[in-house]
Structure 1
């Protein structure tokens, strides 16, 4: 069987062809890293019988893997009739080459038992931990086996950056590539990149030149804190109890998305996100209400803009389904709760809530941040806290990588009176950061309350 080499980025030819145990490809956005890896993997599969383990930190469904990238490249190269593509594997009909897809967090022990792996492709490897690497490295023991480690640098403190970029091990080829070496970019995206350079040089260098950040002191919630919270309930041996809640961030318009995060006590158990137009609020509200019925949970919903009408939809759905799902408005711009109370009750010099927070959104984000910090200290230092002062995220949640990114992105900001607030969506957009829908839903699921459910939510007498 003859198959021509697919069209890949010529700048990476030597990277793929140079013999090495570890291939480390990193750099900024729009640099063709993952597309090129998928293309070269497809080409290899047409030439020889290889087993490729496609891994990433969190993968709870096949759509979160590189499965789609491989399918697209197979189609682009006109090779669809050569492959058998099932719901969770891809195999070449003639060579027998096989692609498998695993999430490291949940399946690391299962991966240890896999045999005859030729290539372990770790996508979005910035979240790889040293403990996982210590397991993976000896697992690939076949002669000539390779690791493909591909990522956009996030923090200089990330294990993968320290291990493979700063202190590169033997038998490793590393390549830093950016958009300016990608010959396939459209004029449109080049204009977007140029606009980012003009708006914010530092952000441009991080996003498009792949320059890592320090553990960003400017953010409200540090990334290391969020990572420590993943499966913290298991690490600390604590079972969730108490109220079940769903935070619902309502899409406003354009490219915005709806998102929900469900929590049981201190544990986030479900994450969802979907596209919805302004005129589809009824459909979205029905989706959230169905989840609330399934989990026996209360709903905290964004009541600004389009979300202002969600309460009426929940009331109607309660009547239609003859249930009493409680729902609460969350107005991010509302006044702070307990305004006369001190931010830190244990510090007599601590300012009052009304003097420290600009609005309820800031108070909520800082409250969640404190719980993340407590969890980090409990997991890494053995400090002891009440369950209500901790926070955990189940690794079984979908969209987990995106949630981690969103929670650790918004920065501290201040109003004209010097009170703390959360970086606005407008300012995030200036940094080329999309709206953090999942993170907003997350903080709503853990937001403090001091009032009863929305008026009128209970069933009418004829439905009781």
Structure 2
């Protein structure tokens, strides 16, 4: 595999050509890691017959893999006529090289049976688990086979950081690369990066210099808790339980997107995201209503801004389809539910909801966080909780990597009275973090609710 290749990032030439069992490429955003890996893989495929397993933690659709990156690099090098590209495979016509695409979470047992793999490329490897590595490492048995492990560092406690960076194994070449070694960046992106440096040095170091955080104690929901909840029903042998709810985060103006989460009992079974502007609210509401009809679910929707009009659309759709789908408004800035009750009913010294939470959004996120923490304790420590105090996420859901990121990113904050609240979208934007649409829809689908009287049409249009 030690051959010259088309010019990609000159800074990485020695990284790709140094003999190694494990190639670990890590660093901040805009550093060309994935683009370079795709380019070098394409080059190798044109020179010799290789079998490349392209893996990532969660991949329920081909669009979630590196398939698109490979296609772009093939076109960039003017090699399209040399490859046969189908909807789910890429093969070189002359050498017979092929690229296979798998999600580790769903297909780890299937991957064990694969033969003749030359390269296992693990993209976005920050979510790789120790158990998965123990299966993957002996799976690549072919002489000269390699692992390509690419990731943006998250936490020093993550397995991939501890295994390959803090305690680097033999026959491993690792390379830390950042945006300042990427010769292909536009001035526009460079200006964005410098603006981040000026705004927040700590976030700049994490996002663009690839420096892992020491811990995640500042966030509302810890990443390890969310990871433990993936397939928690299966791990703990629990039924999902009764009740079906759809959380609907309505897109604001600009590039924001709509998102929905379907909860079946305690388990999130469906995650969707799509574009749809203000003028397409009716179409988006129809999409959500269709999911609710199919699942016989109640709708919980964001009623701030554009979403304020969603309720009337749901009412019209109920009339059109002769259904009585319940729909409930969620206003993040509303006051808390049961403000006089204590946050821990078992502890008479704990503060009341009204004294502890700044608003309904904070109360909702903290209640969901408690269920995630309980689930982590149940899965990892064998502790027992009532089923309704746990939470599970189906591994068959789309966008799982992003959902994990979004749920475990917002930090706790405080208002002027010292009550806790959740980091706002505006403050997330200052950290160069996009609106957490998936997480918002997820939390809405698990929000507490005030009881409201039914209307004459059988629908509920109240506050939580």
What interval of TM-score do these two structures reach, taking the shorter chain for normalisation? over 0.9
Distance 2:62 2:457 in 1: 39
**1:232-251 → structure 2 map (5 Å cutoff):** 232-251=232-251
- How do 1:225-236 and structure 2 match up within 5 A? 225-236=225-236
Preserved CA contact (<8 Å) 1:215 1:223: no
Alpha-carbon deviation of 1:451?
A: 1.9
* Cα distance, 1:453–1:89 mapped onto 2, change above 3 Å: farther
Q: In the TM superposition, what are the counterparts of 1:54-453 in structure 2 within 5 Å? A: 54-452=54-452
Matches of 2:150 and 2:379, distance apart in 1? 28
d(CA) in 2 for partners of 1:329, 1:135: 46
Deviation at 1:7, TM superposition (A): 2.4
Instruction: Confirm or deny: 8 A CA contact 1:84 1:90 kept in the other structure.
Output: yes
- Report the 3-state secondary structure (helix = DSSP H, G, I; strand = E; otherwise coil) of the residue aligned with 1:219: coil
1:214, CA displacement in angstroms? Answer: 2.3
SS of the residue 1:345 aligns to: coil
CA distance 1:197–1:157, change in 2 (3 Å): same
Alpha-carbon contact 1:230-1:393 (below 8 Å) kept: yes
Distance (whole Å) between structure 1 residues aligned to residue 207 and residue 414 of structure 2: 25
| Partner SS, residue 241 of structure 1 | coil
Deviation at 1:6, TM superposition (A): 2.2
**1-side partners of 2:368 and 2:116: how far apart?**
45
Contact residue 250 and residue 307 of structure 1 kept, 8 A:
yes
Q: Deviations over 1:24-49 (max 9, x none)?
A: 00000000000000000000000111
Q: Distance in 1 between matches of 2:457 and 2:297?
A: 14
Give the C-alpha shift of residue 241 in structure 1.
Answer: 1.6
Note if contact 1:314-1:457 (Cα within 8 Å) is conserved in structure 2.
no
Between the aligned partners of 1:453 and 1:250, the Cα distance in structure 2 is 25
Unaligned runs of 5+ in 1: 460-464
SS in 1 for 2:38: helix
String of CA shifts for 1:238-277, please: whole Å, max 9, x gaps. 0102110000000011111110010011101000111111
Q: Distance in 2 between matches of 1:268 and 1:443?
A: 11
Q: State the TM-score, normalized to the length of structure 2.
A: 0.97
C-alpha change, 1:414 and 1:198, in structure 2 (3 Å) is same
Q: Residues 156-208 of structure 1: CA distance to partner in whole angstroms, max 9, x if unpaired? A: 00000000000000000000000000000000000000000000000000000
Distance in 1, Cα, partners of 2:406 & 2:67: 24
The RMSD of aligned alpha carbons is 1.1
Distance, in Å, in 2 between the alignment partners of 1:456 and 1:333 is: 28
Measured in 2, the distance between the counterparts of 1:277 and 1:287 equals 14
Moved over 4 A (4+): 453-457
Q: Which residue number corresponds to residue 12 of structure 2?
A: 12
Q: Give the whole-Å Cα distance in 1 for the aligned partners of 2:106 and 2:149.
A: 19
Deviation at 1:458, TM superposition (A): 3.1
Partner-residue secondary structure (3-state), 2:7: coil
1:112-156 deviation per Cα after TM superposition (whole angstroms, max 9, x unaligned)? 000000000000000000000000000000000000000000000
- In 2, the alpha carbon distance for the partners of 1:354 and 1:132 equals 44
- Deviations 1:62-82 (Å, cap 9, x if unpaired)? 000000000111111111111
| Equivalent residues of 1:260, 1:271 under 8 A apart | yes
Q: How far apart, CA to CA, are the structure 1 residues paired with 2:98 and 2:337?
A: 56
The alpha carbon displacement at 1:454 in A equals: 7.1
Q: 2:462 aligns to what?
A: none
CA distance in structure 2 between the partners assigned to 1:297 and 1:79 by the alignment: 49
Question: TM-score, normalised on structure 1?
Answer: 0.97
Q: Distance in 2 between matches of 1:18 and 1:211?
A: 25
Q: Structure 2: 5+ residue runs without aligned partners? A: 460-464
Compared CA separation, residues 457 and 192, structure 1 to 2 (3 A): farther
Describe the superposition over 1:91-111 as per-residue Cα deviations: whole angstroms up to 9, x where unpaired.
001000000000000000000
1:106 & 1:7 partners in 2: Cα distance? Answer: 36
Q: Structure 2 vs 1, CA of residues 117 and 344 (structure 1 numbering), >3 Å: closer, same or farther?
A: same
- CA deviation after TM superposition for structure 1 residue 457, in Å: 4.8
TM superposition shift of 1:455 = 4.2
Residues of 2 paired with 1:125 and 1:271: CA distance?
22
Report the Cα distance in structure 2 between the residues aligned to 1:456 and 1:320, rounded to whole angstroms: 16
Could you report, residue by residue, the CA deviation over 1:374-395 in whole angstroms, capped at 9, with x for unpaired residues?
Answer: 0000000000000110011001
- SS at 2:288 equivalent: helix
For 1:70, what is the secondary structure of its paired residue?
Answer: helix
